[in-house]
Structure 1
Amino acid sequence: MATKWRPYHLVVFGASGFTGQFVTEEVAREQAVAQGGSLLPWAVAGRSREKLQQVLERAALKLGRPTLSSEVEIIVCDVSNPASLDEMAKQATVVLNCVGPYQFYGEPVVKACVENGASCVDICGEPQFLELMHWKYHEKAAEKGVYIIGSSGFDSIPADLGVIYMSNKINGTLTAVESFLTIHSGPEGPCIHDTTWKSAVYGFANRRNLTKLRKQANLKPVPIVGPKLKRRWLVSYCRELGSYSIPFVGSDVSVVKRTQRYLHENLEQSPVQYAAYVTVGGLSSVVKLMFAGLFFLFFVKFGIGRQLLIKFPWLFSFGYFSKHGPTQKQMDASSFTMTFFGQGYSQGSSPDTSKPNVRICTQVKGPEAGYVATPIAMVQAAMTLLNDASDLPKAGGVFTPGAAFCRTKLIDRLHQRGIEFSVISSSEV
């Protein structure tokens, strides 16, 4: 990681956005302390000084502090102004990029960070953007000695680090994992800000570009160890959890697969097959989601349909997404559980001649996913970049969280902040 002195260890870019304000609060809550006991210098960045000042005032009020202005600087910059992004990046050791959708606003930030020697973490859940940034900037970032770490929020740290955690805990070799995400909500139900909805709309609309990108990459297939993991039906029943499930359409599968490729090719680890699902409860929930999914897939094909989806997120998502985002009451009542079911081989068993004989179940639990767990994950990823530099990949580059942090103390940091990793059961069969 670049060691050139910078005035700010952390810069929260997009701090006045819906998610950025929570990331700002989390950085302040962290009360990060540099070596020698001095306060860690940090700043917030965005288009409007007035709005950024308001974010700092709200954060101070929420945290019970008289002010944050004395310890936090303000940087005015705009994603449409490359020179202003360069100036921001020159002042930062790590940029926390909260400005999405990333396929529209993410690359200028990555470019500015790479060219000006700043590392960067984001909370992107858009596979096309994440994979494109790797192919365009990995070598340049390595030359500069900086780390560009995508998907460092709820998408996709619990899944990516969850598979690595299971691999470390199994008594043998892990070969295949299925994860099931369960969102627990209070009486008012869940709600997600429409920026995530916009990312999904444009992501599905451009999924052909992702297929094209992967074909152009022409990567050598990662070997399959043990039996091939069978994909479940579009709607399937998970007996262990007593719930119906559907495939999880976020970035988790893309991110985990890229991590497993890295671990296999660079650290000679046995690659793990992975599939991700989300539980949806009973049959009534399945029917509701099927209708929402059909509407979404139909409208997303056409320009006017995408405009309607973006203009009326609450209507087309059956109330799950809104332009206002969740209330504090909704966030306080919400949490998540990600349950992992894995299989593999005990020490001494051969995947070539025997069936998997080890079963293991682990969980990752945490607070509300989008605006509590995500800021925690993002800030702890940034702190890991700052404090665990000797355990990062030797050269810089564009990495998944698992590839960058597999040898660091990130899981311990997350555990201390309420995102808990645990083994539920492990047995030989």
Structure 2
Amino acid sequence: MTKSNDIVVYGATGYTGRLVVDHLARFGERHRWAIAGRDERKLQDLASAVKAAHGYEPPIFVASAEDRSSLAKMCERSGVVVACAGPFVRMGEPVVEACIDAGSDYVDITGEPAFVERIITRHHDRAEQAGVLVVPCCGFDSIPADLGVWFVMNALGKNGHATAETFVHTNWDVSGGTWQTMMEMAGHGDPLHPPSFPTPIGASSRTSVGKARPHFEPDVAGWVVPMPTIDPAVVLRSAAMLGTYGADFTYSFYARFGSLPKAALRGAALGAIFGLARVGPARRILSRVKPSGAGANEEQRRTGFFRVTTVARASGEKVVGRVSGGDKYVETGAMAGEAASLLALERATLPRKGGVLTPAVAFGGALVRRLEDRGIRFEIVRRTKEER
């Protein structure tokens, strides 16, 4: 069947889905894109709003993870699916399966380790054989860290043993969708335990997680605390698959705060939330704090920011690089939208043709260039020699 749409945004009426739609409406003039989700009335309202603001009315697919035939119809008619409907551990896998069956590429905005590990284990080989690119974590989780490390390691250009540390500084508010995902993650294991993914077959680099500890970090002028997010697992999978970060690569990931009390307070609050959320009745109560679809207002989006700094060392040389941008949710819309646009317009130029891949492995510098064109900055801050 002919794919009448280059891109479809699945989960388009959610908070982050709307931000992806807004990005495509402003910058997706070179391709035809559609919207999809469970609620036809909400989709119609969104399509009308897009037409009123931008003069383009996106086609609509009513589709849900519970209705496999609706997903099949959506994927059969779309070249790239941008999945924005979570929690992904419950609702994501049927979309991946439908994409592989239909020969449609896939990107998403997940930050859920259990989901990504599952689709790597169950679907990497099938996607590779089908020539379908499945690229999770194409939002704030984990493009700034993954492409930021790729950018810095390319600048470092050393073999042998290399280390890298990433420090994230942002406003730490979360959307309703992120909050619901946090609750879901707490119900599927220990979210405070750093995740890991299966080692790729034929990996040419040894990779490991560094022994991270809270400390004052001069390179970001603040206190940093280890963060058990999905980012280290994504970065280490990139290192193993690419084999260009050094034969032996160690990585650590931190959140940056302005003072030690702030760092301690945030860490304690996160531990308390996740600890409570592992208990069913408490999790149900906490889930009501931020319902799905809730998010920042216009002023909060306008003043939001992120700075993701990576410090890499090898062979007596140190390189500090930074990825920076505006509100992390707005920029997630740009990241996912540009990843999908890259697949729609420039897929033939990409080095890998199929499999469950990381953003760095699937896209590398091609996505860096597109994101820079949209105002997300990638820069080398400084390069110094260190005593050995």
TM-score, normalization: structure 2? 0.91
Which residue is 2:95 aligned to?
109
Which residue is 2:211 aligned to?
231
Question: 2: distance between equivalents of 1:209 and 1:421?
Answer: 30
1:42 is matched by which residue type in structure 2?
Answer: W
Which residue is 2:362 aligned to?
404
Is the contact between residue 15 and residue 293 of structure 2 (CA under 8 Å) also seen in structure 1?
no
- SS at 1:377 equivalent: helix
User: Judging changes above 3 Å, is the alpha-carbon distance between structure 1 residues 98 and 294 closer, same or farther for their aligned structure 2 residues?
Assistant: closer
Question: 1: distance between equivalents of 2:204 and 2:117?
Answer: 17
Is the contact between residue 128 and residue 210 of structure 1 (CA under 8 Å) also seen in structure 2?
no
Question: 2: distance between equivalents of 1:11 and 1:130?
Answer: 21
How far off its partner does 1:268 sit?
9.4
**Pairing 1:203–2:185 present:** yes
Is the contact between residue 206 and residue 240 of structure 2 (CA under 8 Å) also seen in structure 1?
no
User: Judging changes above 3 Å, is the alpha-carbon distance between structure 1 residues 15 and 425 closer, same or farther for their aligned structure 2 residues?
Assistant: same
User: Judging changes above 3 Å, is the alpha-carbon distance between structure 1 residues 215 and 338 closer, same or farther for their aligned structure 2 residues?
Assistant: closer
Is the contact between residue 176 and residue 229 of structure 1 (CA under 8 Å) also seen in structure 2?
no
User: Judging changes above 3 Å, is the alpha-carbon distance between structure 1 residues 111 and 322 closer, same or farther for their aligned structure 2 residues?
Assistant: closer
How far off its partner does 1:126 sit?
0.6
User: Judging changes above 3 Å, is the alpha-carbon distance between structure 1 residues 110 and 271 closer, same or farther for their aligned structure 2 residues?
Assistant: farther
Question: 2: distance between equivalents of 1:54 and 1:268?
Answer: 47
User: Judging changes above 3 Å, is the alpha-carbon distance between structure 1 residues 82 and 148 closer, same or farther for their aligned structure 2 residues?
Assistant: same
2:328 is matched by which residue type in structure 1?
Answer: A
- SS at 1:240 equivalent: helix
User: Judging changes above 3 Å, is the alpha-carbon distance between structure 1 residues 327 and 394 closer, same or farther for their aligned structure 2 residues?
Assistant: closer
Question: 2: distance between equivalents of 1:326 and 1:94?
Answer: 28
2:305 is matched by which residue type in structure 1?
Answer: S
Is the contact between residue 200 and residue 237 of structure 2 (CA under 8 Å) also seen in structure 1?
no
Gaps of 5+ in 2: none
Give CA-to-partner distance per residue, 1:172-223, whole Å, 9 cap, x none. Answer: 3471110111115xxxxx5321211221222233236999x97987989975
Which residue is 1:248 aligned to?
227
Question: 2: distance between equivalents of 1:220 and 1:198?
Answer: 37
Which residue is 2:332 aligned to?
374
Bigger Rg, which one: 1
Question: 2: distance between equivalents of 1:218 and 1:400?
Answer: 12
Within a 5 Å distance, the mapping from 1:281-320 to structure 2 comes to: 281-313=258-290
Worse-matched range after superposition: 322-331 or 133-142: 322-331
**Pairing 1:279–2:256 present:** yes
User: Judging changes above 3 Å, is the alpha-carbon distance between structure 1 residues 381 and 86 closer, same or farther for their aligned structure 2 residues?
Assistant: same
Is the contact between residue 14 and residue 292 of structure 2 (CA under 8 Å) also seen in structure 1?
no
Percent identical pairs in the alignment equals 28
Which residue is 1:47 aligned to?
38
Which residue is 2:25 aligned to?
28
1:250 is matched by which residue type in structure 2?
Answer: T
Give CA-to-partner distance per residue, 1:316-339, whole Å, 9 cap, x none. Answer: xxxxx9963110100101111111
Give CA-to-partner distance per residue, 1:88-120, whole Å, 9 cap, x none. Answer: 010010001110110011001001111111111
Within a 5 Å distance, the mapping from 1:128-167 to structure 2 comes to: 128-167=114-153
- SS at 1:207 equivalent: coil
User: Judging changes above 3 Å, is the alpha-carbon distance between structure 1 residues 158 and 204 closer, same or farther for their aligned structure 2 residues?
Assistant: same
2:304 is matched by which residue type in structure 1?
Answer: S
Which residue is 1:358 aligned to?
317
**Pairing 1:386–2:344 present:** yes
**Pairing 1:337–2:294 present:** no
Which residue is 1:10 aligned to?
7
Cα RMSD over matched residues?
A: 2.7
Question: 2: distance between equivalents of 1:394 and 1:222?
Answer: 17
How far off its partner does 1:301 sit?
2.6
Question: 1: distance between equivalents of 2:196 and 2:165?
Answer: 23
TM-score, normalization: structure 1? 0.82
Is the contact between residue 239 and residue 245 of structure 2 (CA under 8 Å) also seen in structure 1?
no
- SS at 2:219 equivalent: coil
1:404 is matched by which residue type in structure 2?
Answer: A
Aligned length: 384
1:68 corresponds to which of 53, 56, 59: 56
Is the contact between residue 179 and residue 276 of structure 1 (CA under 8 Å) also seen in structure 2?
yes
Question: 2: distance between equivalents of 1:198 and 1:309?
Answer: 9
**Pairing 1:413–2:370 present:** yes
Give CA-to-partner distance per residue, 1:207-251, whole Å, 9 cap, x none. Answer: 36999x9798798997558xx875232x32212322112122321
1:92 corresponds to which of 59, 71, 78: 78
- SS at 2:181 equivalent: helix
Question: 2: distance between equivalents of 1:146 and 1:377?
Answer: 20
